[in-house]
Amino acid sequence: MPQNATETAPTTQLNRRQRLILAGRHLFAEKGYSAAGVREIAAEAGVSIGLIRTHFGSKAGLREEIDRQVIAQIEDLCSRASEHLGTEALDLLVEDAVEWVERERDALLYVRAALMEKTPGSQALLRQLLEIMRRFVALNRERGLLQDDVDEEWAATFLVIDFLGPAVLEPFSEEEFGMSMYHREMVKRRSAFMNRVVTRGFMKS
Amino acid sequence: MPQNATETAPTTQLNRRQRLILAGRHLFAEKGYSAAGVREIAAEAGVSIGLIRTHFGSKAGLREEIDRQVIAQIEDLCSRASEHLGTEALDLLVEDAVEWVERERDALLYVRAALMEKTPGSQALLRQLLEIMRRFVALNRERGLLQDDVDEEWAATFLVIDFLGPAVLEPFSEEEFGMSMYHREMVKRRSAFMNRVVTRGFMKS
DNA sequence: TGCCCCTGTATACGATCGTATCGTATACGA
DNA sequence: TCGTATACGATACGATCGTATACAGGGGCA
């Protein structure tokens, strides 16, 4: 039977499994894969160590499952923006990304941490981001929204870097900028700046 | 007496110490701080484990020394570009960065790895990059090379992200782009694209 | 009722971690 | 030439790592 979705989840299988995933995602994101131990993960999830083996086979299996879920979230995140064009689509992407980060901060920090270790999962994650940005650039070119003679492959890479950049800086953001990279005010300024850059640049030639 | 600076260094203290630093930098960069073991580092350096304690007190002490050396290299790297203005300075920075990466590839990958873990060293590293870019932006504003109403803080952050971006993608670059991010051809295309972006953008408004 | 998966916990195991200790070799000043 | 400080390696130690095993409750079905 389905249980209600309260936070203090009881003892059903799905809940414990999902709690392990969330705890693993949190600790992998915070300390890195190697530094996060299975006992620590199990403790944070409030279950015993053996469950990791039961559900995921091993610590690596847990990571693979986390990778799958996070990749699905990214796909989801970009779905709305991918139906639009030009800077409007970028605005939508930023908007959805902010909402996503506020809702699932650990997922973002997990993406960040995953990219630091070259695993099949992280490779898939990056490839997905690249594909999304390539499609975006191609679509804009077709609609005549790209300037002439643009290196499209680098434009897509540029967008990926720009998407990941704030995530990379996020752990240092509080000290360096006084607030999170995903704070509303920060996002607004950054969004304005990036819109300006992609359409006009910021330096005189 | 000073010994000659041949590669196959003998048994003097400085050489072994420096070999440990290089081995640590390499393995920390490749596997991350936690995953790289002291035995592995000592083996790669060709010395015994105890030397890490002798010279650096602990594994963490070794990392701190590596941080210091890498930060000094970054400072050095940016010194030439910081004497110039506009896109010319950016070109110089790219040029010097490429030369540096070819000469000290491990150092770049170490920067990348260091930023993934929030340590005093990585914080200092990021702060240094930010300061360099802030000075660059301010200098260009004073000389009238900035467009009007530019958010200078975000411009500096943008430049940092853009500096770090290729390093973040580097481990995936061979698979995704067929060559290193710091391959001459890659650098040339990227440099051209970025010069265009900062002066004109790439999308129509 | 008896059997059996399934989910789950507790605990044991071998390996490896970073660090500490100790013996020896070497270099240098008196 | 001796004395001492330092450089260095071999090895031991306690902790913790990820994984494997043994066993307990609890529905579903014959």
Each residue's pLDDT tens digit, B61-100: 999 999 999 999 998 888 888 888 878 888 888 888 889 9
Q: Is the CB of A42 under 7 A from strand D?
A: no
Mean pLDDT of all residues in B125-135: 92
Residue B9 C-alpha, separation from nearest chain A C-alpha, in angstroms: 33
pLDDT band at A80 (very low <50, low <70, confident <90, very high): confident
Interface of B with A in 132-161 (CB under 8 A): 140, 144-147, 150-151, 153-155, 157-158, 160-161
- What does B62-104 look like in DSSP terms, one character per residue? HHHHHHHHHHHHHHHHHHTGGGS-HHHHHHHHHHHHHHHHHH-
Mean pLDDT of all residues in B8-30: 76
Each residue's pLDDT tens digit, B155-195: 999 999 999 999 999 999 999 999 999 999 999 999 999 99
pLDDT at residue number B186? 94
Q: B2 pLDDT exceeds 50?
A: no
Q: How far is CA A205 from the centre of its chain?
A: 35
Structure token digits, residue B137 = 């932006």
Q: B107 pLDDT exceeds 90?
A: yes
One-letter amino acid of B191 = S
Average pLDDT, chain A: 89
Q: Is any Cβ of chain A less than 8 angstroms from the Cβ of B201?
A: yes
pLDDT at residue number B181? 94
Binary contact (A202, B155; C-beta < 8 A): yes
Residue A126 C-alpha, separation from nearest chain B C-alpha, in angstroms: 8
Q: Is any Cβ of chain A less than 8 angstroms from the Cβ of B190?
A: yes
pLDDT at residue number B86? 79
Distance in Å from D15's C1' to B42's CA comes to 21
Each residue's pLDDT tens digit, A25-40: 999 999 999 999 999 9
pLDDT band at A3 (very low <50, low <70, confident <90, very high): very low
Q: A171 pLDDT exceeds 60?
A: yes
Q: Which nucleotides of C are covered by protein (CB under 7 A)?
A: 6-12, 16-22, 28
Distance in Å from C6's C1' to A54's CA comes to 10
Binary contact (A168, B86; C-beta < 8 A): no
pLDDT at residue number B1? 29
- The Cα A166–Cα A172 span in angstroms is 10
Q: Is the CB of A68 under 7 A from strand D?
A: no
Each residue's pLDDT tens digit, A120-135: 999 999 999 999 899 9
Distance in Å from D24's C1' to A43's CA comes to 21
Distance in Å from C19's C1' to B66's CA comes to 20
Q: Is the pTM of this model over 0.85?
A: yes
Is-contact A179 A169, C-beta < 8 A? no
- The Cα B54–Cα A81 span in angstroms is 56
One-letter amino acid of B145 = L
Q: Is any Cβ of chain A less than 8 angstroms from the Cβ of B126?
A: yes
Other CB atoms closer than 10 Å to residue B180's CB: what's the count? 18
Q: A9 pLDDT exceeds 50?
A: no
Binary contact (A203, B201; C-beta < 8 A): no
Strands (E), chain A: none
Of B33, B151, B165, the CB nearest to A161: B165
Helices and strands (H, E) in chain A, number of each type = 9, 0
pLDDT band at A93 (very low <50, low <70, confident <90, very high): confident
For residue B5, the cross-strand partners are none
Instruction: Give the residue on A whose Cα is nearest the Cα of B140.
Output: A203
pLDDT band at B14 (very low <50, low <70, confident <90, very high): low
pLDDT at residue number B72? 92
- The Cα A201–Cα A149 span in angstroms is 16
- The Cα A169–Cα A166 span in angstroms is 5
Q: A83 pLDDT exceeds 90?
A: no
